[in-house]
Structure formats: C-alpha cells, structure tokens
Structure 1
Amino acid sequence: MKKRVLSIGLLTMAMAVASCSNNDDSNSADPNDALFAASLTDITNDVITVTYEDLNTKATALKGAINTLAATPNEANLQAVRTAWSATRAPWEESEGFLYGPVDTGGIDPAMDTWPVDVSAMNAILNSSQAITASLIAANNEARGFHLIEFLVWGENGNKTADQLTPRQLQYLQAAATDLQNNTQTLYDGWKVSGGNYGSNFINAGTTSNIYPSKKAALEEIIEGLITIADEVGNGKIEDPLNSEGGTPNAQFEESRFSNNSKLDFANNMRSIQNIYLGDFGGNDGAGITDIIAHHNQTLDTEVKAKITAAINAIEAIPGTFSDAIYNNRPAVSNAQAKVAELQLLLEGMKQYVNIL
C-alpha cells in the first residue's frame, strides 16, 4: 500500500508538469530535450566510461601485484595484493548500477563476479598436471574472477599467510588476475570512443542509436539499472545471509566474506546509484539525473539525494564485520536494509515520474 501511495503522488506531480507543458506551443521543441541530452552524455562519458577506465587501471595494478607475490611470496607482497584487490573491487561495485551493454551481452558480470566460489573446480585444476592459464580457468565462471582471487589470498577464514600459498596456487592467482584484467579491458574498450563506443547508443538516443528509440527510453534504462542494484543489495546481498532460512542468519551466503569487504561492497553499490544520479565520478562533475529532476521538482530531487546518503550511512554504521553483525547486530543490519528499500521505492516512483515528463 505504501508503494502505491508514493507512486500515485509522483504521478500526480508528473501529470501537473505534463499539463503545463501541453499549454505550450505544440510546435515547440521538447523542453526536456537539452536536459536529457546533457545528462545522457555526461553519465556516459563522466561516469560509466571513466569508471570502467578506473577499474581496468586498478585490475592492471592487481595483476602486477600478484606477479610480484608469485616471484617473492612474503607477507608484505601478500598484503599488497590484498590492498590491490580491494582497490579494484571498489570501481567494480560502483559499476553495478549500470550492468547493461558489454558487461551484459559479453557475459562479463558472471565471468568476474560469480559467487560462491567453486572450490572443487579450483582444486581439480590445482591437482591436475595442466598448465594453469587464463584461458583454462575462463571455462568455469565459478572458479575465476574476484572471489576466486579473494579466496586464495585470504583463505576460508581470512587469515591465510604467504607461506601457505603453494606454487600451483600462485600460478592460479597469476592466471586469474590475467583473466580478470582481460575482462576489465574488454569492458573499457567496449565503452570508450576509440573502441566499441557503446556509449554512443546513449549519447545519440533518439537519433542514430540502434538500441534506444528516444532519449527517454535511454534514461529509463539507466534508472532501471539503479533500481536493479538497490533491489539486489536489499533483497539479495543483505537478505540472503541475514535471513537465509526463515530468519536464520548464515554467513555462508555473504559475498566478499573472506576479505570482510561486504559492507564496503554494499556501500559502493549505493555510490554507484549516487554517481549516476549526480553525474559525478572521480572528480568529474557533469550533468546527471539530478539535473532533470531538480528542474521539475526540487523537493523530489532533495529526497532522492537524502535517501541515497541515508542508505550509504546506514550500511557503514553496521558495527564490526558483516559476518558478525548478522548474528550480533541484527537491528543495525535490518535498518540498513530498510534504508536501501526506501531508496528503491523512491527510485521506482522516480522512473514513473520521468516517463511522464
């Protein structure tokens, strides 16, 4: 019922905007066209493409750190790998608000981020006599990518030491890092102008785009991506370990539990929403969805920004590790989940609002 009331309220505001627009000269250009064009261009160039560029740069650094560890397996080099993994993980989680385009059509999301790790498949490769190469592990999504690397460098309980890494495990890490960076390179190449230039489908929506017949259709795709990641965090990434079986917590369902990176993952997923909404990433300050919403309804724009911030703050306020909190600080976890749900609900209403503009 609450969702219905909010949606009707947003639709009422949108209809008022549409009514005012209908009083204008019917031959005039769409007053939203310039706003839509600026937002689509800046989101494409200043958020999505540069996020993938940052991801690829950090994946390259991770590959280098793993090569150094393989050559000299000591605690300092192991810690450097862990630091590089976490640094690479951040832009990946900040990209999960836009899992469309090459990341989807090329099957790159499951290739990089399938959870849980298939330890049996990994061990079968480790125990074989095969040379461990990137192409070999690429045949099994459950034994490659972020979480395979995470498992090998932290261990099941998060306390692995450098001297516990076998030569075959170090070879596996090198192959996995190469495979991961191959995929981040493919993502960046797919979006950049000198590569596949997928972003042109958004920038040229309604004109020469083969995917989006209108700018509004492209914006709806972008907003749907934000709704999708909010739903995944609240109803999947948090819900599954918090209430795995009728309210019973189970840390086995927690993503990034080996590294205790889960809370940061979830917060960065919310930042993915924030970056797209504001049109900002890594110092770039472009036009975003906020420019469209604020132009028509500053109250709604303020509310969306506040809900994003509240979701991030609630996730970061969960005490200790997420693994511990689902057992010992369940109210804090539930509060974070509720804040994400509130954001998702508002984004769903905002999508309807934009559709009627």
Structure 2
Amino acid sequence: MKNFTLALAATLLLAGCQKEEIDPQNTAAGSPGYNATALLDYAANGVILGTYRDLDAKTATLQTAVAALAAAPTPAALAAARQAYRDARAPWEATEAFAFGPVSTQGLDAVIDTWPLNRVDLTALLASTDPLTPASLRPRDGGLQGFHPIEFLLFGNNANKALADFTPREYLFLKSSAQNLKAATTQLLQAWQPGGGNFAAAVAKAGPGSTVYPKQKQAVQELLDGLIGPADELANSKIEQPLAQQTTDVEEAKFSQNSKAEFLQNLAGIEAIYTGRLGTTTGTGFTDLVAKRNPVLDVRFRQELAAAQQSIAALPGRFDEAIFQNPVAVRAAQARVRTVLATLQTDVQPLVDAL
C-alpha cells in the first residue's frame, strides 16, 4: 500500500508538471499548448508600434499644415490643413483597437480625443484675453484639447467655414493645440517604443518574470478586450446614438463630416490585430490562435469583419445624411458590426478563457 501511495503521488506530481509545461506562457512552439509569443510580439512591435508611428507622423503634418494656414491663410492652405486633420484621424481611430497601456495610464486619451467638444468654454476662451500658448492650454479641460477643438475651428459647424470667418485668436489656438496634440502623440509613441517606456516589450514578453503580465493569457485577454471595445462603441454608440436620436449633435465626426472613414478605421484596427497585417507588413495575428482551435470560426469571423467593412463603405452619401435618408441601410451596417462584436464575445472569448 505504501509503494502504491508513493507511485500515485509521483503520478500526480508528474501530471501537475506536465500541465505547467503546456500553460500558454511556458509552451514551446509545436507542443500541445498554445505559445502566444509570436502573436504578442507582432501585435506590440508590429501593429501597435507601427500605428503609433503613423499617428505621430501625421500629427506632425497636421501641426505643420495648421502653422502654414495661420501664416498665410489661403484656400489651398485651408484645404491642406483640413486634409491633414482627416489623415491624422485615420491611425488614431485604428488605435482604438488597442486602447490599453500608456494611452490610459498616462491620461493621454483624454488630451487627444475627448468628446464632446466643450463649445461653451471654447467660445468664452476665444472671446477672452487669456493667453493661448501651448503651456496655457495644456492644463485645460480635456474638452478643450486634442482633435476636436482643432476640427471645429478648421471646419466650422457644417464643414463650410470660410477663411473670412477665422479670427487671429482662432489661429493662435489652432497652432498651440496642434503643437500640444503632436506632443501627446509623441509621448504615446515613446511610451511604447524601445528607448522610451518600451511598453511593447511588456506585451511581447508577457509570461513568467513579467511584472505587467505574469501570464501570457493576461496579455492575450488584453488584446481581445481591445478588439471588443471599438466594436461595441461603434455599434452601440457612434452609430446608435445619432441614428436613434435622429440628430447629428451627437455624431463624433460631425464637423469634418468624416464619420464613415473613421468607422472604417475602427474596423481596420480590429482587422490588423486579428489578421496580423498592417499595410504591407504581416506577422502573427489572433487568427493564428483561433484557426488552431476552431478553423471554421476563424473563417467565419474574417468574413463577418469584411461584411461589416463593406456595409459601412456602402452607406449612401455621408453618415450624417444616411441616418435621415437611408436609416435602413445604417441599421443593416450596424447589425453587421454587432455580429462582429457578438462573435468576439461569444465565440472567441471562450478560446482565450481556455488557455
């Protein structure tokens, strides 16, 4: 009996060791478990860092374009500044698929993209004699910082602001705000990249020894939460509120009339992390994890994501027009996005839970 007991104990100990060996954070490639190192590394150092670099470059272009407009207000300079704004919004909206880490812990989301715009205080500030330097604007409420005050002053309430409507103080505010926006995106980039805060390494090297993600599963869950967030917000806030209330007052990109493009970038961010593709570069994406466990689900989700993108792109006219003139089409597009959300929550989440 004693020998049997010892043998049983040894068997249980061995089984425990084998379980530990196939835990995601300790699994060697090709073993029975799932090693998330390649997924986490490309998500962090490929997609996320690449998108933040693009964002920082485009906010630099926006800063330059705004300064040029203030120095020489011409129709061409105004058109260039407006296009630079739209261009900078593209990578920012894609980053909503990974809105975790420094963008949150350093309070950068609030100074880059607070919505709604605080138009009452903005009007009062512009009418005052208060200084409009970058330093004086930096402590202001988030509703007076970042993209949206710049958007409003560049485009006006209906995207038809004339050069004659700009005031000297508006130009001062625009220049200082664009400078602060660029500083915030640079801070965000530096927080992720080597030589700075290197949060990318915290994601890529999740597992034993990490103080941020002691298990790879925690970092994988962070990525999945990142995908769920913009799908939820797009379907149930950005589309739902203007459509249900039948007003553009709650449309986030109303001043620039850029909603459809921004919706597509929300989905592009999800696609980049899921597929492991960013522009012409490719790496390991979430598709690798899903396909190894449920290849039918992987194919279905990619089809659902493509269908959501196609439905948004196919909305007749601008979004602010479609909510009044083609609400059925908007509802159909919204349903496609909700399908993406439901699949992530109902079908992909259990795969992560099982890691």
CA distance in structure 2 between the partners assigned to 1:274 and 1:104 by the alignment: 22
Q: Which moved more, 1:73-82 or 1:292-301?
A: 292-301
Q: How much has 1:354 moved relative to structure 2?
A: 2.2
- 8 A Cα contact 1:35 1:292, kept in partner: no
| Deviation at residue 339 of structure 1 after TM alignment | 0.5
The two structures, once aligned, show a CA RMSD in angstroms of: 1.6
Aligned to 1:97, what secondary structure does the other structure show?
A: helix
- In the TM superposition, 1:49-198 aligns within 5 A as 49-138=49-138, 139-198=140-199
Unpaired segments ≥5 residues, structure 2: 1-14
Verify the 8 A CA contact 1:74 1:163 in the aligned structure 2. no
Percentage identity across paired residues of the two chains: 38
d(CA) in 1 for partners of 2:19, 2:156:
65
Q: Which amino acid aligns with 2:354?
A: I
Deviations 1:292-333 (A, max 9, x none): 111222111111111111111111111111111111100111
Give the deviation of 1:289 after TM superposition.
0.7
Q: Distance in 1 between matches of 2:185 and 2:314?
A: 31
CA contact (8 A) 1:314 1:335 kept: yes
Q: Which position in structure 2 is the counterpart of 1:12? A: none
Q: Distance in 2 between matches of 1:330 and 1:289?
A: 33
Query: Residue 216 of structure 2 corresponds to which residue in structure 1?
Result: 215
Give the aligned partner of residue 306 of structure 1: 303
Higher relative contact order (CA 8 A, sep 6+): 1
Question: 2: CA distance between counterparts of 1:71 and 1:26?
Answer: 66
Distance between the aligned counterparts of 2:20 and 2:229, measured in 1?
Answer: 37
Which residue, 290, 293, 300 being the options, matches 2:290?
Answer: 293
Residues 1:273 and 2:270 aligned together: yes
In structure 2, the partner of 1:38 is 38
Check conservation: 1:200, 1:209, Cα contact below 8 A. no
> Aligned with 1:94: secondary structure?
helix
Shift of 1:137: 2.2
Cα distance change on mapping 1:38 and 1:131 into 2, 3 Å: same
Give the corresponding residue for 1:352: 350
Q: How many residue pairs get matched?
A: 331
**SS of 1:159 mapped into structure 2:** coil
- Preserved CA contact (<8 Å) 1:44 1:199: yes
Q: Normalising to structure 1: TM-score of the pair?
A: 0.89
Normalised by the length of structure 2, the TM-score is 0.90
From the superposition, tell whether residues 58 and 33 of structure 1 become closer, same or farther in structure 2 (CA, over 3 Å).
Answer: farther
Q: Say if 1:26 and 1:208 are closer, same or farther in 2 by CA, change over 3 A.
A: closer
- Worse-matched range after superposition: 179-188 or 30-39: 30-39
Q: One-letter code of the match for 2:83?
A: T
CA distance in 2, matches of 1:356, 1:218: 14
1:142-197 deviation line (CA, Å, top 9, x unaligned): 11211111100110111012222111100110011011101100110000011100
Structure ID, larger Rg: 2
Runs of 4+ in 1 over 6 A off after TM superposition: none
